[in-house]
Structure 1
Amino acid sequence: MKIACHIQSAEVYELVHSVLLRAGFDVQRFASETALLRGVRRDDVDLVLIDLASEPDADNSLLSWLNMRTGDATPVMILSPMRSAALAALVLNAGADEFVPRPVEAVELLARTNALLRRSGNAPQRRSIEYAGYNLERDSGRLQFLGQQIELTPREFSMAWLFFSSPGVYISRSTIGAVIWSTDSEVAGRTIEQHVYKLRKKLQVGDKRVVMIRTAYTQGYRLELCTPE
């Protein structure tokens, strides 16, 4: 699936690009607003992603374009470092479909992207993940390593799906708590630690450890490939 984006900051673009690329998206970056609007008119894209790094003027070309998109079903997501209710209302009323303040966690950005595509009817729901010999099947809640079944509880599988969806990306305790337990990290903190501990042990097949879940006190947890010894 193709995503057209206009992100001026190299750092922000690298984050967005790496997250979407790992999820299988084709990301095309445009250097200017004008180039983006021309590219979107010229080629079919599945989503438009724009980063607003500063408050837009009243005659901003992107706002004008959003206001003129009558009949265009391509979803538009706006990122911005400005956590402003007024700005969110401005771009949403102009025609954007989603407003995401940043910084935003990689797992949340991917989830919001997929949700927006689903709402627009452009994306099938991901049903399986294959990574480093592991295979996760969402419908059956099954995890296998090279065909060998690994028994997980429903919550352990949900946690595994979260990690394997974004390998190499730290996922905060608050995100894990909200996604799996529908509560915050303070309430679910010890429970999260216990589930991570159990999942670590189950991901190790015999004496072979292919992946590991690394903990960083301030950042949360992430799935990493182990270096061959």
Structure 2
Amino acid sequence: MAENSGKILVVEDECDVADLIAFNLERSGYEVLIANDGLVGQDLALRERPDLIILDLMLPGKDGYSVFKELRRDNRTAHTPVLMLTARAQTEDRIKGFEAGADDYLTKPFSPKELVLRVNAIMRRTEASPGAVEVTVGPFRLDKNSMSFYLVGEKVDLTSTEFKLLLFLVERPDSPQDRNDLLRNVWGYSDEVHSRTLDTHMKRLRSKLGDYANLVETVRGIGYRLNVS
């Protein structure tokens, strides 16, 4: 019995692949929209405001990376989770996808069951967290509902991944957080590719914290810690 809900946009030029994805997601309870062209997918994303986008990278009209960049520039889709789906299976390609800010990356051929599980994991992570809607620690204030971050009262734009990483640390101040715990919380699981890109995301996050970057400390052999004591 279907137990999920939410609207998912599939941007995939191979019709049989798009239909396979749609069938499995709809069977799991999701509403699915399909676009077989990059430009059409971009327009549909901005118009329909889906809860998640499954984005192929090799698309006619406009390639997936270009579509992704445009979606991140627009306030309507700046924080919409994106799962990149592509035949590019090299580790370097996956790293590039994560460094661009994708929430997940799945290579073809893929298991429909795995895709649904990954979609479920992303959807759970993007739901409003229980407890306080806003969390304030030191100079940081995070609004979970709007995924907005304020640094000493000034709004700073973070990607959804950067927001989730910072929130995990802010909710556990002064306590070292294991790399694997961070990976599982943000991406849903831990593997070598995610471990390598975790440091890249942290580097980008620190650059946005400016004079307060030193509050996010690297704990050698463990992971990271927010030091506000």
- TM-score by length of structure 1 reads 0.47
TM-score, scaled to structure 2? 0.47
Which of structures 1 and 2 has the bigger CA Rg?
Answer: 1
